[in-house]
Amino acid sequence: MLNTIKTDEHSPVMNTYGRFPITLVKGKGSYVWDDKGKKYLDYTSGIATCSLGHVPDKVQAALEEQLHTLWHCSNLYHIPIQEKLANILAENSIFDGAFFCNSGAEANEAAIKLAKKYAKGQGNEERTEIVTFKRSFHGRTGTTLAATAQEKIHQGFTPVTSGFRYLSFNDEAALEQIDNGKTTAVLLELVQGEGGVNVAKVDWVKKLAALCKEKDILLMLDEVQTGIGRTGSLFAYEQFDFEPDVITLAKGLGGGFPIGALLAKEKAAAAFTPGTHGSTFGGNPLASTAGYATVNAILEGNILEHVKKVEHFILNKLYDLQQEYPVIEEIKGIGLLLGLEMKNGAAEYITALRERDVLVLSAGEKVLRILPPLTTSEKEAAEFIAAFQEVLEEKKN
């Protein structure tokens, strides 16, 4: 029966993705192979998910051991590896509590619930709104798409969930509109990944953080894409000189295995009490094993310094290319979350690079998004640069 399934318009899989015309069947490190045996340099990392590359040895070994022990049990029982994951995250951050789920959207849903519960616990019944920012992306569930301040994401799903107010990103005037008497929390990406790899200004974020602290408004960071080493620090907030109250994680946390997390300081974490939130599969033994093995490998393997080194290498090469090819209008991002704003749009470059066996993504129509594994080598980065230069030269002529 399996051999009769077709991966074309006759497939029973719903048509929710504009899929590229390749079928991937194997991965290792920075490379993937298709069903015809063709090898590609994967600079998408499963959309910033395979943080240690495909099928990393340490995570694979930990998962194989756990597979022979226990796959799933209810969160009504203590799960030792979940406790270990919570501890390593708390010990290497400013947060006191962790809640585990299965995805970034679920983590953001949990943060939204936590903010509402916190406000009610403080006796602030009138605080019912959460501020997000234009060009943000927080997920595709009913509530997280409402939190996402992009009209194109809302299309076909109106009326969206109420309770969100959208302000301009990196805008000083927006700070004056944060507190309107109804605001319970601000949900912010320090680097807007899907929105175009837009980096928050440090001074703007610090002013926002000071305002939230003064008004007892929770400052919640969506670090689904930036967290777990992607920017060169374990969490992106470490590079912005302020302390958030809450962050959400997913993508790179499990090294390719599905897991999400909400981390919060004690004042916010205390709002969740038994029965207020939960997840059947969240933090199960397999997912927590993948999460712990991934975080531990990043911390013990000097991966964060490696990210900064490779970032420096790639950026220098890209700036050189920009001088020669002005079609690269802007280079932006942090760590190994990089974006190239292309004069003619991103699509043609994605296709041309794929034809040269290199996989990259877009972030909106104009931005080429580069998401290598955190473990990628300078040799692999040079392979990407060489292919990209070939494409730029071809498009120039």
Burial class for 109, CB neighbours closer than 10 Å (0-12, 13-18, 19+): buried
Q: Are 111 and 246 part of one and the same domain?
A: yes
Whole-prediction pTM value? 0.94
CB contact at 8 A, 139 and 148: yes
Query: Domain ends where: 300, 330, 356?
Result: 300
Residue indicated by tokens 């034809």: 355
Q: Are 201 and 345 part of one and the same domain?
A: no
Q: Are 293 and 316 part of one and the same domain?
A: no
Three-state SS across the chain? CHHHCCCCCCCCCCCCCCCCCCCEEEEEECEEEECCCCEEEECCHHHHCCCCCECCHHHHHHHHHHHCCCCCCCCCCCCHHHHHHHHHHHHCCCCCEEEEECCHHHHHHHHHHHHHHHHHHCCCCCCCEEEEEECCCCCCCHHHHHHCECHHHHCCCCCCCCCEEEECCCCHHHHCCCCCCCEEEEEECCEECCCCCEECCHHHHHHHHHHHHHHCCEEEEECCCCCCCCCCCCCHHHHCCCCCCEEEECHHHHCCCCCEEEEECHHHHCCCCCCCCCCCCCCCHHHHHHHHHHHHHHHHCCHHHHHHHHHHHHHHHHHHHHHHCCCEEEEEEECCEEEEEECCCCHHHHHHHHHCCEECEECCCCEEEECCCCCCCHHHHHHHHHHHHHHHHHHHC
For residue range 230-264, what is the model confidence (pLDDT) as tens digits? Answer: 999 999 999 999 999 999 999 999 999 999 999 99
Please tell me the predicted confidence (pLDDT) of residue 18: 85
CB contact at 8 A, 23 and 30: no
Label the pairing between strands 337-342 and 39-42.
Answer: unpaired
The DSSP string of 276-338 is: S---SSTT-HHHHHHHHHHHHHHHHTTHHHHHHHHHHHHHHHHHHHHHH-TTEEEEEEETTEE
Q: Are 154 and 252 part of one and the same domain?
A: yes
CATH of the domain at 142: 3.40.640.10
Q: Are 85 and 151 part of one and the same domain?
A: yes
Query: Domain ends where: 283, 300, 317?
Result: 300
How many domains in the chain?
A: 2
Q: Are 287 and 210 part of one and the same domain?
A: yes
| Domain that includes residue 279, residue range | 57-300
**How many Cβ atoms from other residues are within 10 Å of residue 113's Cβ?**
17
Q: Are 202 and 351 part of one and the same domain?
A: no
The dihedrals phi and psi of 264, each to the nearest 5 degrees, come to: -145, 150
For residue range 161-187, what is the model confidence (pLDDT) as tens digits? Answer: 999 999 999 999 999 999 999 999 999
Strand-pair partners of 192: 198
Exposure string for 302-312, b = 16+ CB within 10 A, e = fewer? ebbebbeebbe
Q: Which residues of the chain have pLDDT under 50?
A: 1-5
Q: Are 262 and 229 part of one and the same domain?
A: yes
HSE of 215, CA atoms in CB hemisphere, 13 A: 22
Query: Domain ends where: 236, 270, 300?
Result: 300
Please tell me the predicted confidence (pLDDT) of residue 7: 54
Residues 262 and 95: their CA atoms lie apart, in Å, by: 10
CB contact at 8 A, 148 and 138: yes
Q: Are 317 and 291 part of one and the same domain?
A: no
Give the chain's length. 397
Residues 147 and 154: their CA atoms lie apart, in Å, by: 10
Q: Are 31 and 67 part of one and the same domain?
A: no
Q: Are 160 and 281 part of one and the same domain?
A: yes
CATH of the domain at 316: 3.90.1150.10
Residues 153 and 364: their CA atoms lie apart, in Å, by: 12
Residues 334 and 338: their CA atoms lie apart, in Å, by: 6
Please tell me the predicted confidence (pLDDT) of residue 1: 33
Q: Are 240 and 192 part of one and the same domain?
A: yes
Question: Maximum distance among all alpha carbons in the chain?
Answer: 66
